[in-house]
């Protein structure tokens, strides 16, 4: 990109934008390709939105009305020629704001843009954001006009070794503005964010305590704010600290706890000066005790499944409530009370729907294969992106696990990096559990050991030991599961965070025929029997609910660009193994 040293995006309005006053900027946007990522040739940057005024004018790019991309959406599946495009595309949205109000502040909010976004407004560069799966915003109060505003955003989805994720990952690199874009309007002093959670210490008391933190922004903050929970007759004053966040507590009687069986949400209203925000929030606690996970003080077994945030029928990232309903509906049919949102933050609408449906969630960042552990810039980016995720989802009762990495080999630089990540995440959110998907000590594919051991030093920093294990698919055949057992040496609960194998829906054979539904079902039977015997195994999230797009998977006639480890095909048809897992969960 041509611009460097630009301001970073702001952690403002990255949650609950649905309940703010906003102008919807979704829809058709003009676009222009920038394959070499120059930002515009010939002395004029694309962000200037310059159009020649007479016949001598020269410009070597252009936005034309007939060239549009839909926002939100990945660009790859919108135009055949963009299927494997990995470079920059500039998007332009022009709009009027006739009701512009000089007494207000305005922010451009972007739900997600994969991977790097350079945001410009009315010819001024506002800044950049890195990370394709978390929300960000920029203030435009001083730039907005009643007419002819132009928002031009350059999005670059080129993969780079210093990115998160790094160069190679087993999912499709949907590029573009993949989630909602909104122009948010707030008073001069406003509620930036709020964080509410049930205090564990009060779980067994009749009168419970909700711990809160309130962040206001502006030059003359009100001295007092209020929190209201009408159903509990709560109307409480909060004395606002003049600087920094304000911590407060609310004591409540007769609080109904949130759980998968009873996903009770309360209407919450927060008022501060001229600003007011509403939300629906559930209250529960989660902790570990020995080898158990306790939800509201009671042991729980996590009947889970892994998920990518992709609607296979539309071949796009999930970006609507309908996409979320489709995916969570399938998980409910399977009998799940838990989902691992792999391998990056999924859309906020899905997390909010999980709150309503009572589905517990594991969330993560793409700290995945090939990360540059020794690069301090990468650590900085990882911390920023995790902050954005926690700021977005802190108030969601469904979200109970922050995972900090997937399948990363224990070397000193990685151990240090992830140990710092664990501390960072805990410092922002001590109310949830921390985990990471770990592999066994050696690369044991085909290894004769009958006992798999887990001594990764990172486990020390985690609340849950989570294990990815593909015995029977990568190495060995499913019957080998009968010969193995597991030991960890840690008094911690264990989740089997991945296992599975591929099957082409509709392809049948005997149980040893690779890619047949029978092979996959057999693998599930043997794997489940093996894992079920592990002492302290309190949940599993097999890999994966639905077949997903992956350029790594190119076996003709079988994969054709899809990872086939789904229990459901990309057309929505269930495979045999779906019913094996469903049966196990129905008896658990
Ligand atoms: C894994 C990865 C996941 C892959 C999966 C597979 O271990 O965590 O991202 O897609 O295996 O299908 O091989």
User: CB atoms < 10 A from the CB of 155, how many?
Assistant: 27
Which atom of ligand 1 is closest in space to residue 406's alpha carbon?
8
**Which H or E element spans position 426?**
helix 412-428
Q: Is the CB of 541 under 6 A from ligand 1?
A: no
CA angle (380 as vertex; 379, 381 as ends), nearest 5 = 90
List the one residue out of 70, 308, 311 whose CA is nearest residue 178: 70
Whether pLDDT at 58 is above 70: yes
According to DSSP, residue 554 is labeled -
What is the phi/psi pair of residue 378, to 5°?
-70, -40
What separation in Å is there between the alpha carbon of 411 and the centre of ligand 1? 21
d(CA 170, ligand 1 centre) in Å = 6
CA of 343 to the centre of ligand 1 (A): 10
CA nearest ligand 1 atom 3, residue:
170
Residue 406 CB less than 6 A away from ligand 1: yes
The candidate with the shortest Cα–Cα distance to 498, out of 358, 307, 335, is 307
Min mean pLDDT across 15-19, 97-101, 294-298, 350-354 is at 15-19
Cα torsion angle, 61, 64, 69, 71, sign = positive
Which secondary-structure segment (H or E) carries 34? strand 27-34
Residue 443, pLDDT > 60, answer no
Query: Residues 224-244: what's their mean pLDDT?
Result: 96
Instruction: List the strands of the sheet with 234-239, edge to edge.
Output: 234-239, 224-229, 266-272, 275-281
Q: What is the CA radius of gyration of the chain?
A: 25
CA end-to-end span of the chain: 53
The 10s digit of each residue's pLDDT in 333-363 is 999 999 999 999 999 999 999 999 999 999 9
d(CA 176, CA 153): 10
Cα(134) to centroid(ligand 1), Å: 22
What was the pLDDT predicted at 475? 83
Q: Report pLDDT for 5.
A: 44
For residues 463-481, average pLDDT: 95
* Cα 336 to ligand 1 centroid, rounded to whole Å: 20
Q: Please, how many CA atoms are within 13 Å of residue 435, restricted to the half-sphere of its CB?
A: 27
Over residues 90-96, mean pLDDT? 98
**Ligand 1 atom having least distance to the Cα of 407:** 8
* pLDDT value of position 2: 37
Q: Is the CB of 498 within 6 Å of ligand 1?
A: yes
Answer whether 565 contacts ligand 1 (Cβ < 6 A).
yes
- Whether ligand 1 lies within 6 angstroms of the CB of 468 is answered as yes
Question: What is the pLDDT averaged over residues 429-437?
Answer: 98
Atom number in ligand 1 closest to CA 439: 7
The larger pLDDT score, comparing residue 290 to residue 42, is at 290
Look at ligand 1, atom 10, and give the residue with the nearest C-alpha. 170
Taking only the tens place, the pLDDT of each residue in 176-217 is 999 999 999 999 999 999 999 999 999 999 999 999 999 999
Res 7: pLDDT: 64
CA 309 – ligand 1 centroid, Å: 15
Q: Tell me if 436 sits within 8 A of 466, measured CB to CB.
A: yes
Measured in angstroms, how far is the CA atom of residue 468 from the centroid of ligand 1? 9
pLDDT band at 244 (very low <50, low <70, confident <90, very high): confident
* Residue 91: closest CA among 105, 103, 73: 73
State the Cα–Cα distance between residues 196 and 265, nearest whole angstrom.
Answer: 13
State the chain's mean pLDDT as an integer. Answer: 95
Confidence class for position 42, pLDDT limits 50, 70, 90: low
Ligand 1 pocket test: which of 168, 172, 498 has the largest number of ligand atoms within 8 Å of its C-beta?
A: 498
**Distance, CA of 522 to CA of 143 (rounded, Å):** 62
What is the pLDDT at residue 108?
Answer: 97
- Cα separation, 453 vs 96, in Å, equals 62
The minimum-distance atom of ligand 1 relative to the CA of 368 is 8
Q: What is the spatial distance between Cα 77 and Cα 83, in angstroms, rounded to a whole number?
A: 6
Q: Is the CB of 193 under 6 A from ligand 1?
A: no
Is 140:121 a contact under the CB 8 Å cutoff? yes
Q: Are 247 and 212 in contact (CB under 8 A)?
A: yes
Residue 436, pLDDT above cutoff 60: yes
Distance set, CA 169 to CA 112, 181, 408, 479, 563 (Å): 19, 27, 13, 29, 12
Phi, psi of 383 (to 5 degrees): -65, -40
Ligand 1 within 6 A of 170 CB? yes
Measured in angstroms, how far is the CA atom of residue 72 from the centroid of ligand 1? 27
For 564-585, write each residue's pLDDT tens digit.
999 999 999 999 999 999 999 9
Q: Residue 412 — φ and ψ, nearest 5°? A: -55, -45
Ligand 1 centre and the CA of 500: distance in Å?
9
Which atom number of ligand 1 is nearest to the Cα of residue 473? Answer: 13
Q: Distance from the CA of 383 to the center of ligand 1, in angstroms?
A: 24
Residue 475 CA, ligand 1 centroid: distance in Å: 14
* Averaged pLDDT, 276-301: 98
**Residue found by looking up tokens 């120059």 in the block:** 38
- The per-residue pLDDT for range 481-512, each reduced to its tens digit, is 999 999 888 999 999 999 999 999 999 999 99
pLDDT mean over 259-282:
98
> Which tokens sit at 478?
């499913």
SS3 208: strand
Q: What residues contact residue 376 under an 8 Å CB cut-off, 6+ apart?
A: none
Which of 74-78, 396-400, 443-447, 510-514 is the least confident region? 443-447
Cα-to-centroid distance, 340 and ligand 1 (Å): 13
Return contacts of 231-239, CB within 8 angstroms, 24+ apart.
231/266, 231/267, 232/266, 238/212, 238/214
* pLDDT value at 441 more than 70: yes
Q: What is the mean pLDDT of residues 459-482?
A: 95
The whole-angstrom separation of Cα 143 and Cα 8 is 18
Residue 408 makes CB contacts below 8 A (sequence gap 6+) with 367, 368, 369, 371, 414, 418, 436
Distance 385 CA to ligand 1 centre (A): 22
Is the pLDDT at 448 greater than 90? The verdict is no
407 lines ligand 1 (CB under 6 A): yes
Residue 158 has pLDDT above 70, yes or no: yes
Q: Where are the beta strands (DSSP E) in 72-135?
A: 88-95, 104-110, 113-114, 116-121, 124-130
| Cα 165 to averaged position of ligand 1 atoms, centre (Å) | 14
Question: Which has more pLDDT, 5 or 201?
Answer: 201
Tens digits of per-residue pLDDT, 107-135? Answer: 999 999 999 999 999 999 999 999 999 99
State residue 378's pLDDT score.
Answer: 97
Query: Is the N-terminal amide bond of 115 cis, ω within 30° of 0?
Result: yes
CB-ligand 1 contact for 562 (6 Å cutoff): no
> pLDDT-based confidence at 444, cuts 50/70/90?
very low
**Residue recorded with tokens 């394709």:** 132
Q: Whose CA is nearest to atom 13 of ligand 1?
A: 170
pLDDT, residue 461, reads 97
Specify the ligand 1 atom closest to the Cα of 468.
7
Q: What are the tokens at 561?
A: 């660009």
The answer to whether 258 and 196 are in contact (CB under 8 A) is: no
Alpha-carbon span 97 to 57, nearest angstrom:
30
């Amino acid at each position: 990109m041509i611009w460097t040293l630009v301001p970073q995006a702001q952690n403002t309005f990255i949650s609950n934008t649905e309940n703010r006053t906003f102008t919807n900027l979704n829809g058709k946007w003009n676009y222009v390709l920038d394959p070499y990522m120059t930002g515009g040739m010939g002395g004029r940057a694309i962000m200037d939105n310059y159009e020649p005024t007479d016949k001598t004018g020269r410009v070597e790019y252009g936005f034309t009305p007939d060239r549009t991309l839909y926002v939100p959406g990945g660009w790859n599946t919108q135009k055949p020629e963009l299927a494997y495009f990995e470079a920059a595309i500039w998007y332009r949205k022009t709009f009027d704001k006739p009701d512009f109000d000089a007494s207000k502040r305005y922010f451009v909010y972007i739900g997600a843009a994969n991977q790097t976004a350079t945001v410009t407004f009315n010819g001024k560069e506002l800044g950049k954001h890195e990370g394709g799966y978390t929300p960000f915003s920029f203030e435009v109060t001083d730039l907005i006009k009643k007419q002819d505003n132009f928002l031009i955003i350059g999005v670059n989805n080129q993969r780079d070794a210093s990115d998160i994720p790094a160069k190679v990952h087993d999912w499709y690199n949907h590029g573009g503005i993949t989630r909602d874009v909104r122009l948010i309007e707030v008073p001069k002093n406003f509620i930036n964010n709020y964080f509410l959670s049930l205090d564990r210490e009060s779980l067994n008391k009749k009168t419970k305590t909700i711990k809160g933190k309130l962040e206001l922004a502006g030059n003359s903050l009100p001295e007092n704010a209020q929190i209201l929970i009408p159903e509990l007759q709560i109307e409480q004053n909060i004395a606002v600290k003049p600087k920094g966040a304000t911590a407060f507590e609310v004591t409540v009687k007769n609080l109904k706890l949130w759980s998968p069986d009873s996903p009770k949400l309360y209407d919450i209203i927060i008022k501060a000066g001229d600003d007011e925000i509403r939300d629906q929030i559930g209250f529960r606690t989660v902790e570990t005790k020995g080898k158990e996970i306790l939800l509201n003080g009671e042991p729980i077994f996590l009947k889970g499944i892994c998920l990518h945030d992709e609607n296979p029928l539309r071949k796009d990232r999930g970006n609507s409530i309908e996409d979320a309903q489709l995916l969570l509906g399938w998980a409910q049919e399977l009998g799940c009370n838990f989902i691992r949102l792999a391998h990056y933050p999924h859309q906020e609408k899905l997390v909010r729907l999980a709150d309503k449906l009572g589905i517990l969630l594991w969330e993560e960042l793409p700290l995945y294969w090939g990360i540059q552990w020794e690069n301090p810039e990468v650590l900085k980016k990882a911390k920023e992106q995790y902050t954005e995720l926690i700021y977005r989802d802190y108030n969601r009762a469904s979200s109970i696990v922050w995972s900090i990495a997937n399948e990363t080999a224990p070397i000193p630089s990685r151990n240090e990096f992830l140990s710092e990540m664990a501390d960072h995440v805990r410092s922002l959110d001590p109310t949830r559990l921390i985990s990471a998907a770990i592999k066994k000590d050696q690369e044991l594919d085909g290894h004769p050991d009958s006992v798999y051991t887990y001594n990764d030093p990172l486990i020390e920093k985690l609340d849950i030991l989570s294990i990815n294990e593909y015995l029977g698919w990568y190495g060995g055949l499913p019957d080998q599961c009968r010969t193995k057992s597991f030991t960890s040496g840690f008094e911690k609960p264990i989740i089997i965070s991945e296992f599975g194998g591929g099957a082409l829906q509709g392809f049948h054979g005997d149980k040893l025929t690779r890619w047949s539904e029978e092979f996959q079902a057999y693998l599930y039977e043997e794997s489940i029997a093996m894992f079920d015997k592990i002492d302290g195994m309190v949940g599993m999230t097999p890999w994966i609910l639905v077949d997903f797009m992956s350029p790594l998977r190119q076996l003709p006639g079988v994969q054709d660009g899809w990872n086939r480890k789904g229990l459901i095909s990309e057309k929505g048809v269930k495979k045999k193994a779906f019913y094996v897992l469903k049966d196990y969960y129905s008896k658990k």
